């Protein structure tokens, strides 16, 4: 409080010195006048009165923040202050004080570069389809994300269901993000407008340049950027959790459909002497099973490894598929069919398979060293049946 009083007294003295000079010698630069005793006696009461008036004005300014926000009273106080005859002198003194103090803040008015973390979050939200020019958009990004993680084809009926669930969850996250972003922008604009109006109103009493108002607006936006960054970071975390739950889970091992397994096993046991399908055969099998060519290659590699490890069980399975092939051949013969194959691949008849009992036990003898070497190589590179990335 004492410091405030000293500051007010210094302002009063400076104001009185300037006012006295302008009143005694208005607009004329003359030599210093040495006051006489008579002048001091005449100016003494007048100077005291002016000091008291300026002190009252400064006291009113210092107590404005403690007053209530009654509109009628505020309008009266503003009108009284603006109409006071000493206001121009007070304003000029405040301008002089500001000229001395503004030099220290001119270096801090340089524009700061955009926050790199905020730019990184914006790029991620745009890539995930959450942010963008269209609030209802983002479908292309969602489709690309699900297709990249799916890797399967139409043979997996749960693709459409999971894709729909992912799109629905992503749309929900997008809606929440834009709702909160609108609230943030509204609050920021309201507060900025309030501060700008307040500064413009105060500029009638104290000197405030337009650049200072812009600088204050920039400070407000930097303060609000912390809220914006927290909102975008939370949204990115929600999107990553969604991807981990709906998309990354698809990379786990999945069993093929029963129909696809039947087609692959049928081809494997019908070509048991050389269970290495050509690229054309792989493409045909992939088309029939609704999977990719890479999945077909992975399945045959794993199937050969399992066959060598468990010959007994594989022999029973081979007999089962041989019986199915023989039944299909008999049905085709009864219908006077010119071919005895049930599919587009040449099948080995049951008599040929059953007439060679050593075929299942002696795979190394049938295929020679080539199958043994390739089996060892495949065994060292067992691949999963999961959708290829």
**Percent over 90 (pLDDT), the chain:** 8
Asked if 264 contacts 289 with a C-beta cutoff of 8 angstroms, the reply is: yes
Read off the pLDDT of residues 44-90 as tens digits, 9 standing for 90 and up: 677 777 778 888 878 877 776 676 666 666 676 777 777 777 777 77
Q: How many CB atoms within 10 Å of residue 42?
A: 12
- Report domain extents, the chain: 1-17+53-61+70-104, 116-251, 258-380
Residue, of 222 and 12, whose pLDDT is higher: 222
User: Exposed, middle or buried, 325 (CB in 10 Å: 0-12/13-18/19+)?
Assistant: buried
Whether the Cβ atoms of residue 289 and residue 256 lie closer than 8 Å to each other = yes
Residue 345 has pLDDT above 90, yes or no: no
For tokens 């005793």, name the residue: 37
Task: Give the Cα separation of 282 and 285 in Å (integer).
Answer: 5
pLDDT (tens digit per residue) in 190-244? 999 999 888 888 777 777 778 888 888 888 988 888 898 999 999 999 988 888 8
CA 269 centroid distance within chain: 51
Q: What is 258-380's CATH superfamily?
A: Homeodomain-like (1.10.10.60)
Q: What is the pLDDT of residues 175-187, one digit of tens each?
A: 999 999 999 999 9
Query: Tokens 């041989």 correspond to what residue?
Result: 322
Burial class, 71, CB count within 10 angstroms (exposed 0-12 / middle 13-18 / buried 19+): exposed
* Cβ pair 349, 325 in contact under 8 A: yes
pTM greater than 0.75: no
């Amino acid at each position: 409080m004492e410091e405030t009083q000293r500051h007010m007294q210094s302002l009063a003295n400076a104001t009185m010195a300037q006012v006295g000079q302008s009143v005694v010698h208005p607009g004329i630069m003359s030599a210093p006048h040495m006051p006489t005793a008579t002048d001091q006696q005449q100016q003494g009461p007048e100077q005291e009165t002016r000091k008291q008036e300026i002190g009252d004005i400064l006291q009113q300014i210092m107590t404005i923040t403690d007053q209530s926000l009654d509109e009628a009273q505020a309008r009266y106080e503003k009108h009284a202050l603006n109409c006071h005859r000493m206001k121009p002198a007070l304003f000029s003194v405040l301008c002089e004080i500001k000229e001395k103090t503004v030099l220290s803040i001119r270096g801090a008015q340089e524009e700061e570069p955009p926050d790199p973390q905020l730019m990184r979050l914006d790029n991620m939200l745009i890539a995930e389809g959450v942010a963008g020019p269209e609030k209802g958009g983002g479908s292309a990004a969602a489709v690309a994300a699900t297709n990249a993680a799916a890797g399967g084809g139409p043979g997996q009926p749960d693709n459409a269901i999971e894709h729909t669930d992912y799109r629905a969850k992503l749309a929900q996250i997008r809606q929440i993000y834009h709702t909160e972003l609108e609230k943030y922008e509204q609050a920021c604009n309201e507060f900025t407008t309030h501060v700008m109006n307040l500064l413009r109103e105060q500029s009638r009493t104290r000197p405030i340049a337009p650049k200072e108002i812009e600088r204050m607006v920039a400070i407000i936006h930097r303060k609000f950027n912390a809220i914006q960054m927290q909102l975008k970071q939370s949204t990115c975390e929600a999107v990553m959790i969604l991807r981990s739950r709906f998309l990354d889970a698809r990379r786990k091992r999945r069993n093929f459909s029963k129909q696809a397994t039947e087609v692959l096993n049928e081809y494997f046991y019908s070509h048991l002497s050389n269970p290495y399908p050509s690229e054309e055969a792989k493409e045909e099998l992939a088309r029939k099973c609704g999977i990719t060519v890479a999945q077909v290659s992975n399945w045959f590699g794993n199937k050969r490894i399992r066959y060598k490890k468990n010959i007994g069980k594989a022999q029973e399975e081979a007999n089962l598929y041989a019986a199915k092939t023989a039944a299909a051949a008999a049905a085709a013969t009864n219908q006077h069919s010119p071919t005895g194959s049930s599919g587009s691949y040449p099948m080995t008849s049951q008599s040929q398979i059953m007439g060679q009992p050593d075929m299942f036990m002696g795979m190394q003898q049938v295929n020679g060293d080539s199958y043994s070497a390739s089996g060892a190589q495949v065994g060292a590179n067992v691949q999963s049946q999961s959708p290829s990335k």
